[in-house]
Structure 1
Amino acid sequence: MSAQVSDEDLEELAASARAALVREIDRTGAWADDPVWRDAFEQVPRHLFVPYYYVGVSGGYERRWGESPDPAARARWMRGAYADVPLATRLRDGELLSSSSQPSLMAMMLVALGVADGHRVLEIGSGTGYNAALLAHRLGDDDLVTTIDLEPEITESARRHLEAAGHRPVVATGDGARGVPERAPFDRIIATCTLPSIPRAWLAQCRPGARVLTPFATGLVALTVTDAEHAEGRFLATPAYFVPLRGASRSQPESVPVGGLPRGARDDELFRFLLALTRGGLDPQEAYTLWEREDRPRRERYGITVSGERAWAWLDDPEGPYVWQLPGG
């Protein structure tokens, strides 16, 4: 088989695999509230953003590469690029540094972000550049999109991937917790990495009424910004596990000991969320008592408020009785 025919076969495979991914996301209902995103996922080729990735195998990871000399390996790479799963894209000493998120989760987050024509959007965590490309396609104006990452090698590769896909949003290298003030004000901020606190710099770079969607404590919280010092919002229903924001000042907390609790609680994903959200505010036994008393509350009952120097999480009502101070608040 010649290289030319092989390339044609790969393009056909990409088109059919992308169509299958769109149908799969359709079935999840992820963009039911804003079907305009369907076109973005139909048109933006994910494989251009993952020229290689790693899949877990017994004893470690296997690298899949779009330039492999083996046609069968290239086909496996292409099919995997359109699977509705997260793809590990950067490893260092066995640690995951960057990944391409699960497409159906990306679709749900983009819908929850509430993007409208003309919005200026900041993405924290460039990853492969795929999410920024989806945003740029949706908005129809690359200049409305800014994406930032701490690692120069990540931003350089994201920029190359975006150019290959025909997009040129602003790709900045720096500490995402500080935002990108020279590109402000923003109407929407979306983070694709998890943080231990809500950076005040983000609020200061938002227009009043802006929306901030960020992973937090194994969940996703959607905050409405009132002004530079005030924001409030609730968690979405879905669980979310993202790579932590990198930076010397943001080490991840140690796991909470739960040995004395019933197995049903220890293994319950919603209880683990409560533990993560109230870390330092409730000990595990107190959290378990609350969890049982309040009928094992789902994520949507929790929220976060930022007010000046204070930030707190809450159950049902920002004024209490169940409130817990957050780091940095």
Structure 2
Amino acid sequence: MGAHALGWSDRDLAEPAGSALADLVREIDMSGAWADEPVWRETFAAVPRHLFVPYYYVGVRGGYERRWGGSPDPRDRECWLRGAYEDVPLATRVRDGQLISSSSQPSLMATMLVALRVEDGHRVLEIGTGSGYNAALLAHRLGDDDLVTSIDLEPEITESARRHLDSAGHRPLVVTGDGARGVPARAPFDRIIATCTLSAVPRAWLAQCRPGGRILAPFAGGLIALTVRDTWHAEGHFLATPAYFVPLRGAGGPEPRPVPLSGVPHLARDDELFRFLLALSRGSLDPQEAYAMWRREGLPGRARYGITVSGDRAWAWLDDPAGPYAWPLPG
């Protein structure tokens, strides 16, 4: 949905949107997110985020408030545009009070895209189309829309994403379907990136990824970067950064159950790194056992953990896939 569809002229939007985008790029620049791959700075500077969020929701007491670029009130439109370029996630789909889709925080998107290690000519599969903004960034970086495939479960999400992408001048393939099954007709891929939290690593992704390919996905409140060896084997470490996304819906595995924390000190319960370990070891390690290991090993951060997928088995580990600290994962 472009400026005209919102009831604005291109001239109305050009200056304030350009200024807001430049501010966002400077903010991400200062975070150091793309220091290792500055090509992403140019990419973010070239793709206007407001085209992908013609409306979004902000949390207010008791629910959500809608901000809309087509509001007849110029103050509301200004608030919408300013919010579209804040370095925060934006809720784009809310159903029965529950968030089902969002546009991710731009600085976290930059961190993930750099960690994906995209190279010219790579074929990329995105799991979780959302607003279409991430697909547009990938298409711009690669310089070829046909190299990018994006899939989402909800037809209304994929339909609106196609409109947003078209308004930005990009036409990657956007598929409606179960992201856990991938898009076999477009395989093999060099890179797979998910913008939704996994509860298990879908084997279909390994089968659709070239040997040596890379899968980057949110898992247990972190970001796992897996190198694919072949159809049945992949392994890799977590990034150091936290990451919280809406869950993958479809055939992605069972929803996690609450973990009883009796016997775990209250300070540990509130520690973000310990809670990551709890989420990663859910159902396999007793919380007290996990706490004892965490203390014994010096309160390890995310980057010391990893995941291995081998045949029908998958397990998480601390420091070494074959070391003493390893536990099975679902799926």
Which range, TM-score by smaller chain? over 0.9
| 8 Å Cα contact 1:10-1:75 kept in structure 2 | no
Matches of 2:80 and 2:125, distance apart in 1: 30
Matches of 1:5 and 1:163, distance apart in 2: 18
For the aligned residue pairs, the C-alpha RMSD in angstroms reads 1.4
Q: SS of the residue aligned with 1:242?
A: coil
Structure 2 CA distance for partners of 1:287 and 1:98, relative to 1, 3 Å: same
Matches of 2:252 and 2:211, distance apart in 1: 29
Identify which of 68, 75, 90 aligns with 1:87. 90
1:202-229: CA deviation from partner (whole Å, max 9, x where unpaired): 0000111000000101000000001111
Query: Which residue does 1:52 correspond to in 2?
Result: 55
Matches of 1:66 and 1:200, distance apart in 2: 41
1:127-186: CA deviation from partner (whole Å, max 9, x where unpaired): 000000000000000000000001111110111100010000000011100000000000
Query: Which residue does 1:116 correspond to in 2?
Result: 119
| 8 Å Cα contact 2:129-2:152 kept in structure 1 | yes
Structure 2 CA distance for partners of 1:262 and 1:5, relative to 1, 3 Å: closer
Matches of 1:5 and 1:166, distance apart in 2: 18
Identify which of 206, 225, 228 aligns with 1:225. 228
> Which segment drifts farther, 195-204 or 9-18?
9-18
Deviation at 1:7, TM superposition (A): 5.6
Matches of 1:5 and 1:162, distance apart in 2: 18
Matches within 5 A, 1:1-329: 8-247=11-250, 250-328=253-331
Matches of 1:62 and 1:4, distance apart in 2: 21
> Which segment drifts farther, 206-215 or 6-15?
6-15
Deviation at 1:251, TM superposition (A): 4.1
Matches of 2:216 and 2:250, distance apart in 1: 20
| 8 Å Cα contact 1:181-1:205 kept in structure 2 | yes
> Which segment drifts farther, 137-146 or 257-266?
257-266
Q: SS of the residue aligned with 1:304?
A: strand
| 8 Å Cα contact 2:59-2:65 kept in structure 1 | yes
Q: SS of the residue aligned with 2:241?
A: coil
| 8 Å Cα contact 1:6-1:71 kept in structure 2 | no
- 2:182 aligned partner, one-letter code: G
Deviation at 1:10, TM superposition (A): 2.8
| 8 Å Cα contact 1:159-1:168 kept in structure 2 | yes
Structure 2 CA distance for partners of 1:5 and 1:94, relative to 1, 3 Å: closer
Q: SS of the residue aligned with 1:292?
A: helix
Matches of 2:170 and 2:22, distance apart in 1: 21
Matches of 1:36 and 1:5, distance apart in 2: 31
| 8 Å Cα contact 1:220-1:238 kept in structure 2 | yes
Q: Which runs of 5+ in 2 are unaligned?
A: 1-5
Q: Which runs of 5+ in 1 are unaligned?
A: none
Q: SS of the residue aligned with 2:289?
A: helix
| 8 Å Cα contact 2:237-2:304 kept in structure 1 | yes
Deviation at 1:60, TM superposition (A): 1.5
> How high is the sequence identity, in percent, across the aligned residues?
77
1:36-59: CA deviation from partner (whole Å, max 9, x where unpaired): 000111010100000000001122
- 2:240 aligned partner, one-letter code: A
Q: SS of the residue aligned with 1:288?
A: helix
Q: SS of the residue aligned with 1:26?
A: helix
- 4+ residue runs over 4 A deviation: 3-7
TM-score (norm 2): 0.96
Equivalent pairs counted in the alignment come to 326
Matches of 1:122 and 1:16, distance apart in 2: 31
- 2:176 aligned partner, one-letter code: T
Matches of 2:50 and 2:107, distance apart in 1: 16
Matches of 2:38 and 2:186, distance apart in 1: 28
Matches of 2:251 and 2:142, distance apart in 1: 34
Deviation at 1:187, TM superposition (A): 0.3
Q: SS of the residue aligned with 1:317?
A: coil
Deviation at 1:259, TM superposition (A): 4.0
Structure 2 CA distance for partners of 1:144 and 1:285, relative to 1, 3 Å: same
> Which segment drifts farther, 79-88 or 51-60?
51-60
